Amino acid sequence: METSVSRKIEDALSNLEGVDYLETKSMPNASVIIANLKYGTDVDKAMQDAQRYIDNIRKDLPDNILSPIMSKVSPNDLPIISISATSKLSETDFYQKMKDDFLPQIQQLKGVAEITLLGGEEREIQVKVNQDKLIYYKVSLSQVVEAINRSGLDLPAGKVQTEKENNSVRIIGKFTTLENIMNVQVAMPFPNSPVYVKDVANVIDGVKEISSVSRYNGVNGIGLMLKKQGDANAVDVSELVHKKLKEIEEQNKDADVKFIIADDSTDKTIAAVNSVIFDLFLAVILVSIVML
């Protein structure tokens, strides 16, 4: 991938006007090339030129690769903080706790725009249908799906009014146990012979297919990639996030919830500001000495 794809695209983009430097990441099945542009460069024109350069070398790339895809990314679109979270809770319980409890607390902080979760194991109720049983009972897969969807609805059913009260009524059909799903009636192909989900499928309390993994220092956890709002001050957002993470850790000591800051881009900003303050302070001292 590196020699047959990455280097050829790199060479094509190296002459692109306005490019400051290129970053390339080659993987077994993908190549990612980031063109960092100089300040003031017309991004839209650079995108058009880059597309033209890539089109010119398309014939030199392997026949079995997909057409290269380009996207425009602003620094504001990049995460300012990368976090790794761990707990002694089970993988699925911790993921649910993160999604339903911890994440909303962080998202409501001033200046936070978006948080992306990576890794973890999300609970998923799986209905694994047996094709042979469908044929035996003369029902279709779509009938099974429709029956489950229909039985799992939570719908308003109107109102009950009296002279003193006016109450809304809902039909609660949400599933609370696996047995609820297993006992859903799918069809009745013959009189007095109902077919239930349990007759044609196995219902399993499983885990959603894992599409990403988050690991820090060799320990699996849940990764959080946090982006700030465009007009927000990154340092202020970082301070609020750090404070909130400490609060969540304190409130969940029993579950041993830990948040590790894997990367915080504001550290460089703070270091640069401190360096400037130190230089100014040193300059004031030197001027004072000279004046004396």
- Residue 277 lies inside a defined structural domain of this protein: no
Q: Whole-model pTM?
A: 0.64
Whose tokens are 């009296």? That residue is 162
Same domain, 128 and 203: yes
Q: Is the pLDDT of residue 103 over 50?
A: yes
Instruction: Say which CATH number the domain at 145 has.
Output: 3.30.2090.10
Interior/surface letters 107-131, b for 16+ CB within 10 angstroms, e for the rest: eebebbeebebbbbbbeeeebeeee
% of the chain at pLDDT higher than 90 = 33
- Shared domain for 84 and 40, answered yes or no, is no
Spatial neighbors of 189 by CB under 8 A, at least 6 apart, are: 137, 138, 139, 195
Q: What is the pLDDT of residues 51-96, one digit of tens each?
A: 888 888 888 888 888 888 888 777 667 788 999 999 999 999 999 9
Strand-pairing partners, residue 36, are 21
Residue 252: is its pLDDT beyond 90? yes
Structure tokens at 105: 């607390």
Strand duo 81-86 + 154-161: pairing: unpaired
pLDDT at residue 289 in the model: 61
Say whether both 215 and 112 belong to one domain.
yes
Instruction: State which H helix or E strand residue 228 sits in.
Output: strand 219-228
Task: Compare 29 and 117 and report the one with higher pLDDT.
Answer: 117
What does the chain come to in residues? Answer: 292
Of 82, 39, 106, which Cα lies nearest the Cα of 267? 82
Q: Is residue 270 part of a domain?
A: no
Name the domain count of the chain: 3
**pLDDT at position 159:** 45
With b for 16 or more beta-carbon neighbours within 10 A and e for fewer, the 158-174 pattern comes to eeeeeeeeeeeeeeeee
Q: Which domain holds residue 33?
A: 2-73
> How does the average pLDDT of the chain come out, rounded?
82
Residues 42, 20 share a domain: yes
User: Which region, left, alpha or beta, applies to residue 105 given φ > 0 means left and ψ of -120 to 50 means alpha?
Assistant: alpha
Is there a single domain that holds both residue 96 and residue 218? yes
Q: What are phi and psi of 107, to 5 degrees?
A: -65, -25
Look up the CATH number of the domain holding residue 98: 3.30.70.1320
How many C-beta atoms surround the C-beta of residue 257 within 10 A?
A: 21
Q: Model confidence over 129-160: pLDDT tens digits?
A: 999 999 999 999 999 988 888 887 654 544 44
Spatial CB neighbours of 158, under 8 Å, sequence gap ≥ 6: 168, 169
Judge if 22 and 149 occupy the same domain: no
Section 248-277 average pLDDT: 77
> Residues 14, 80: one domain?
no
Residue 279 lies in a domain: no
Task: Kindly report, residue by residue over 203-242, the tens digit of the pLDDT.
Answer: 999 898 888 888 888 888 999 999 998 888 888 999 999 9
Question: How far apart are alpha carbons 136 and 186 in whole angstroms?
Answer: 14
pLDDT at 125 > cutoff 50: yes
* Residue ranges in 27-169 assigned as alpha helix (H): 43-57, 91-97, 103-107, 131-137, 141-151
Q: Which of 207, 225, 243 is the C-terminal boundary of a domain? A: 207
- Give the Cβ contact number of residue 244 at 10 Å: 17
* Angle of CA points 185, 186, 188, to nearest 5°: 90
Q: Residue 267: which of 231, 243, 238, 226 has the closest Cα?
A: 238
* Residue 255 scores a pLDDT above 80: yes
CA distance 269 to 284: 23
